[in-house]
Amino acid sequence: MQNILSNIDTAFPVLFGGALAWIALWIVASIFYRRSKGKPFFPRKSDHDAFYESTGSGRSNRNFFTRLGGARNCLTVAVTDNSLIVQPKFPFNLMFLPEIYDLEYSIPKNRIHTIEERKFFFGKKRYFGLYPA
């Protein structure tokens, strides 16, 4: 047992450094991916936005896995004359989180059929947009 603990003590800096390097690799890869797709790192309010909220919350209902991962107070929601845009804020748009949990949308206005307001516990309102996939 003492031999295992001494091996862990000597290997800890290498294991810890490897874990940090692995995380840094995923961050750099996600930066290159977002740049190649033309996605912003810092979503900003435009003068043409009819509505803008920088502390939106939401989750995808696409499948069971995307229902597990949601965003609380870290989504930007913008409504323009032509579309509805939902994007995560920095740093939540790194490490492929929006792609894994399906949190980034740009939906043209003609694809949105209805928007419903539903009241939940204690009068809390939630909005649901319905559009075909």
50-109 pLDDT, tens digit per residue, is 888 888 888 888 888 888 888 888 889 888 888 888 899 988 888 888 888 888 888 888
CA-based end-to-end distance of the chain: 57
- Beta bridge partner(s), residue 126: 118
Closest of 65, 66, 47 to residue 104, by C-alpha: 66
Those residues with Cβ within 8 angstroms of residue 107's Cβ, 6 or more apart along the chain or in another chain: 83, 84, 85, 129, 131
DSSP β-ladder status, 125-130 and 114-119: antiparallel
Instruction: Quote the CA–CA distance of 94 and 54 in Å, as a whole number.
Output: 17
Residue 130 pLDDT: 54
pTM: 0.72
pLDDT at 126 over 70: no
Helices and strands in the chain: count of H runs, count of E runs: 3, 6
